[in-house]
Chains A and B, each alone.
Chain A
Amino acid sequence: MDFLTLFVVVPVLTIIAIVFTKNMKQTRLVAAVGMGIQLLLAVALVFMYLAERKAGNTSEMLFSHSYVWFESLNIKYNIGVDGISVAMILLTGIVVFTGVFASWTVEYLSREFFISLIFLSTGVFGFFISLDLFTMFLFYEVAVIPMYLLIGIWGTGPKEYSAMKLTLMLMGASALLLVGILGIYFNSNAGGGELTFSILEISKVHIPMAAQRMFFPMTFIGFGVLGALFPFHTWSPDGHASAPTAVSMLHAGVLMKLGGYGAFRVAIFLLPDAAKEMSWFFLILTGTSVVYGAFGAIFQKDLKYINAYSSVSHCGLVLFAILMMNRAALNGAVLQMLSHGLMTALFFALIGMIYGRTHTRMINKLGGLMKVMPILAVSYVIAGLANLGLPGLSGFVAEMTIFFGSFQYTDVFHRVLTISVAASIVITAVYILRVVGKILYGPIVNKEFLKLDDAHWYERLSTGLLIVGIAGIGIAPLWLSDMINESLSPIMHQLLNVIVK
């Protein structure tokens, strides 16, 4: 078996092991071990990737393997990674691992909970290693459906409504995506070859313009819904607010990145001409996401809703950057996905921990937590600062790179958009600082809070790991940036070709 397939096999084996566990303690232990192995694999993959590149391997995708699956339709189980997918896999590894610890105390049907959670992560890992549109789509849907049970069974608030809304909107998006993928497939023989689902082979074909015009919007919106594209973002606040902690973490941290990654890897990479032509329209939509999300966050009183709207804003920024289609902006988009993945996961983990103690998420009912639970409070401040883009933390690097990239366009349209988007990023500071001031500092509003304890070891582990990641990207972005930059060459090549034509 090849190395990459392990990323799908390990979760599946973990699920099988969990089926045979007897009680909650065994279950969470098995889950932690399984996802720990997964995280180690992800770290090992990074080093193997760097070593391979250092040794002078310049092929587009490394560790790639291709097995014929449905021969007559030319569907292959085709896997491989470049710098971007390696980074996303590492992100997923970290978030899933910390997610297991964030749900350390789930008692109700704990076996089923961890099985669904890990099943979801199987889909995510599979998505990031796929180089074949069919398997990619398959893993995408695998990642979406466990969400329904996770939110519906273990969620809070109007969970049934939120779960249904989220599932149906994402499945509706995948409906668009399916048509887009089939459209690409049936035009992949434009160069005279045979029909194929393979991303790399399709990228060498020039798909006829009429087909691109039809299928680019479908593919981009299909992935965009997952990346909280305005006006299809409405599943996100409700879904995130109702989901249990680990699921919010995984969903905002990783699953929403599937949208950005897919839009980049499929929509822009395979249909570059239409992307150039239509980018203005989608730039307006994504710009609206950024601004709308930021303003939406200001008016919320529930910590999870604040964060969910902030995620809409930041994930919108990812799509915005992808549509800018130059090297710096794309680089920034990937950095933003990583950075937002880590800090949002941290945010949701902390909110879950605070909620678990105080049983409220309303900011007006919280206050003075710094005195009661200093470790959690400090972590919250760190997450907040990363979110508003403080230099030295990951958010700054990512946003800086994106705006650097988008400012390279000198026409009025791009300038206006860039400036308004950059301005709304400043709003982030408003709601973050307001929340931090309100819930962490000030007097203790509820005497009951004095009895609460600070973070347990498993909570420290998960927050610590995420903070290390955030600071890591912030302090030493270069090696990551290099890894990404290198992998951007094929897509830049695609986009440059368009301009020549």
Chain B
Amino acid sequence: MRLESFLLMRHEILLTVALLIILIAELSTENKKKISNLSVILFLGVTVIGFLPVPEGLLFGEMYRTSHLIVLMKNILNIGTLILFFQSAEWIKQTEYKNKVSEFYMLILSTLIGMNFMISSGHFIMFYIGLELATIPIAALAAYDRLKNISAEAGIKLILSSALSTGIMLYGISMLYGTVGSLYFSDMAGANLNTPLQTLAFIFFFAGMGFKISLVPFHLWTADVYEGAPINVSSYLSVISKGAAVFTLTIILYTVFYSIMPMWKNLLYVVAILTMTVGNLFALRQQNLKRFLAFSSVAQAGFILLGIIDGSGLGMASVVYFVLIYIFTNLGAFGVVSAISVASGKEHIDDYNGLYKTNPKLSLLLMLALFSLAGIPPVAGFFGKFFLFTAAAHSGYFWLVFIAVINATISLYYYLLVVKAMFINKNENPIAYFKSAFTTKVGLLLCVFGIFAIGLLSPVYEFIRMFSNIL
């Protein structure tokens, strides 16, 4: 193996270097606020370099593999994290966090490294290490406000339930090993995984992944953790962490479990309906915006399954495209909620009454993001949803599409409730006008740009589609 071939792992190496630089900076400076700026700039560099072309290939005897599609996925996650960093820069400057600024960035970067390995894995052990690296630091992040009970509780809840789900998944993986005799993805793909034991193994594996993506019935942790964790961590959980898990699940379903496609299609059919419906019905009654967005993101995960269920390049493209849009959209929504929470400490829908009078720009942005989540044209969410539905219809699942669109209509109801609060409801004391910090503005403007541009500009979709046939 030549040394250049390590360049295939460029994303992971860059992230590790950035992580180490932040660590050194943390040790050598007293001014923690500078670390925040340094991290954002470093990560900006990492994101940009990530877009340089890189060859496809395998490393460590197939343990690690990379392709254009995988690089694209990593870049999408990088973009999302970058926006999140912009949005967090102001939040992290609050005095209560002043001694743990670098922890936030380091923990996020290490989860990102884990996710990258997870997506790139060609072997279940590699996948497992990536998964753990992606999960454990998030539990620490969820407990970032550790002096607040609710945040500490979120951390514990996340680590315990994720340990359980990972355990179940490992059990499934061990059964696969027992029946196939190898943990390499390529060997599994070659084998026919049709025996009942393997089916059980698959279901265990799927349950583990379902936990990460918060599919019903593995979603119960979602709302509590989102509510308890600091808002920017919830944002990261709902967008990047979920996106990475969706990518990994799609890749593994399409390659490793290709031989039992009809079986997992049936499973996805049921889980998709459950996830959309339960997510939506619970979102209807939420008053806390973090819980509200948590259930909305459960429902969105159900929609994503409609893309995965297609099982062809079309489905893969629609999933990647939707996740890209979802990142911009949901970060836009969380970004506004976070900005308002930092400025006024308010997180309830009722607090938003009359917001348009005092903060018109933030209200408009939140409305755009919510419309995009609901899939209203001309914003990007419409295109994302339409293509997901197209993918499901491509496999002939017209009734599933029908149920999904009805669910989209239900979701419109609760998204409109927030719009109604901001634009229609009257309020004696609306949240006062405040100026957002420069970094927050950049983070939000990037979202606006994405929400408008990604849908209307077809080259984005075509670019994704071009790579998505080759796995």
A interface list, Cβ under 8 A from B: 69-73, 75, 134, 138-139, 141-142, 145, 148-149, 152-153, 160, 164, 167-168, 171-172, 174-176, 178-179, 182-183, 185-186, 214
Contact = CB atoms under 8 A, between A and B. Distances in A.
Contact of A69 (B377, B419, B458): B458
Interface stretch (B129-137, B279-287, B394-402): B394-402
Interface of B: 317, 371, 376-378, 382, 386-387, 389-390, 393-394, 396, 398, 401-402, 405-406, 408-409, 412-413, 416, 419-420, 423-424, 458, 461-462, 465
Contacts of A167: 412, 416
A145 B377 CA distance: 9
A214 B398 contact: yes
Contacts of A141: 376-377, 382
What is the interface of chain B mostly: helix, strand, loop, or mixed?
A: helix
B406 A175 contact: yes
B458 A70 contact: yes
Contacts of B317: 72
A145 B415 CA distance: 12
Given A182-B390, A182-B398, A172 B419 contact: no
Contact of B462 (A71, A172, A182): A71
Contacts of B461: 70, 72
Given A164-B413, A168-B409, A138 B458 contact: no
Nearest to A186: B393
- SS class, residues of chain A in contact with chain B: helix
Contact of B393 (A70, A75, A145, A182): A182
Given A167-B412, A175-B406, A145 B389 contact: no
A138 B378 contact: yes
A83 B365 CA distance: 41
Contacts of B462: 70-72
9 contacts: A70-B458, A142-B377, A152-B423, A152-B424, A160-B420, A164-B416, A168-B409, A172-B406, A174-B405
Contact of B382 (A72, A73, A138, A175): A138
Contacts, number: 79
A71 B458 contact: yes
A138 B378 CA distance: 7
A148 B419 contact: yes
A391 to B, nearest CB: 43
A318 to B, nearest CB: 25
A180 to B, nearest CB: 9
Contacts of A164: 413, 416, 420
Nearest to A195: B394
Contacts of A148: 416, 419
A164 to B, nearest CB: 7
A148 B378 CA distance: 16
A179 B420 contact: no
B415 to A, nearest CB: 10
A179 B371 contact: no
**Most-contacted residue by chain B among A69, A179, A185, A214 (CB, 10 A):** A179
Given A72-B465, A167-B416, A182-B390, A145 B371 contact: yes
A71 B317 CA distance: 13
Given A71-B462, A139-B377, A179-B393, 5 more contacts: A72-B317, A72-B465, A138-B382, A141-B376, A172-B406
A178 B405 contact: yes
A186 B423 CA distance: 40
Contacts of B458: 69-71, 75
A73 B464 CA distance: 13
Contacts of B401: 178-179, 182
A126 to B, nearest CB: 10
A220 B177 CA distance: 53
A89 B352 CA distance: 40
B350 to A, nearest CB: 15
Contacts of B376: 141, 145
A127 B465 CA distance: 28
B257 to A, nearest CB: 25
Contact of B377 (A71, A138, A175): A138
B423 A149 contact: yes
Contacts of A183: 393, 398
A262 to B, nearest CB: 16
A141 B375 CA distance: 10
Contacts of B378: 138, 142
A213 B418 CA distance: 39
A120 to B, nearest CB: 13
Given A141-B376, A142-B377, A168-B413, A182 B389 contact: yes
Nearest to B387: A73
A152 B408 contact: no
Nearest to B371: A145
B420 A175 contact: no
A152 B419 CA distance: 10
A71 B393 CA distance: 18
A172 B396 CA distance: 21
Contacts of B420: 152, 160, 164
Nearest to A155: B424
Contacts of A186: 393-394, 396
A28 B389 CA distance: 41
B388 to A, nearest CB: 11
Contacts of B419: 148-149
B32 to A, nearest CB: 41
A138 B376 CA distance: 8
Given A141-B376, A175-B402, A179-B398, A168 B412 contact: yes
B377 A179 contact: no
A289 B389 CA distance: 32
A171 B377 contact: no
A71 B461 CA distance: 9
A433 B377 CA distance: 43
B393 to A, nearest CB: 4
A386 to B, nearest CB: 35
B354 to A, nearest CB: 12
Contacts of A152: 420, 423-424
B393 A171 contact: no
Nearest to B465: A72
Nearest to A143: B377
A176 B406 CA distance: 8
A71 B402 CA distance: 25
Contacts of A214: 398
User: Shortest 7 CB-CB distances between A and B: which pairs?
Assistant: A175-B405, A182-B393, A138-B377, A152-B424, A70-B458, A172-B409, A72-B465
A175 B424 contact: no
